[in-house]
Amino acid sequence: MPETGIGFVPDIGGTWLLSRAPGELGTHLALTAGQASGPDAVALGLADYFVPADRLPALAAALAGEPAEAVVRRFAADVPPSPLAVQQDWIDECYAGDSVEEILRRLQAHPAPAAREAAETIKAKSPTAVKVTLASLRRVRGLGSLEEALDQEYRVSLRCLAGPEFPEGVRAQLVDKDRMPRWNPPVLEEVTAEQVEAYFAGLGPRELGLALART
């Protein structure tokens, strides 16, 4: 999903899933707004089976009259190597930092060309969205349930919708399509810890309350 590229953050359980992917693979995808292939999805724990594209029409037809799990098992194939997983060594090393600035320093200093490419990709995203996304992932690792994660994502998402980054990202990528977003603040160094913290503040009576309803 393109979240940090449009001034937004992972939602609908995205932070829960990405924070629990092996090592820092989820952090890499979240900050770069990268795409995961089918094999990547299995390696990340986002999918259980791999069905080749040429089998999808037959799979869809079979699903009309048979139980889903049995159908998927029948059409699934051995999972090819994950392009993302084979890069896990440098990804884990570089994304272990607890600030975006530290992660960028590690990426830029790493000898792997893909690491330096990742640094340039992150630098083009919304500085605010990148910092809030990293904070979201780190915080959700300490939460005990998907419901708590969804409550947190709801708080953060509402703040994103109320701020300037999301409308500007959508304008640049989807409306005018000039691919030249004017982020505000324009650089990571101008996004303060206090600004990031404000995205996670409680909503009072507007809280989603899924975790509370679960207890």
Q: In this prediction, what percent of the chain has a pLDDT beyond 70?
A: 100
Q: Which CATH number fits domain 3-36+84-214: 3.40.50.2000, 3.40.50.1820, 3.55.40.20, 3.90.226.10?
A: 3.90.226.10
Residue 71: partners with Cβ closer than 8 Å, 6 or more residues away:
59, 62, 63
Residue 215 has pLDDT above 70, yes or no: no
Residue 211 has pLDDT above 80, yes or no: yes
> Region 194-214: what's the mean pLDDT?
93
Residue 89: partners with Cβ closer than 8 Å, 6 or more residues away:
none
- Taking only the tens place, the pLDDT of each residue in 96-126 is 988 999 999 999 999 999 999 999 999 999 9
Q: In this prediction, what percent of the chain has a pLDDT beyond 90?
A: 95
The single residue listed with the structure tokens 């990528």 is: 173
Cα separation values, 149 from 19, 20, 44, 129, 214, Å: 10, 12, 18, 17, 13
pLDDT of residue 155: 97
- Taking only the tens place, the pLDDT of each residue in 3-49 is 999 999 999 999 999 999 999 999 999 999 999 999 999 999 999 99
> Region 123-150: what's the mean pLDDT?
97
Cis peptide before 185 (omega within 30 of 0): yes
Residue 77 has pLDDT above 80, yes or no: yes
The secondary structure of 1-18 as a DSSP string is: --GGGGT----TTHHHHH
Helix and strand numbers, DSSP H then E, in the chain: 13, 0
Domain boundaries, the chain: 3-36+84-214
DSSP H helical ranges for 163-208:
165-170, 193-198
pTM as predicted: 0.93
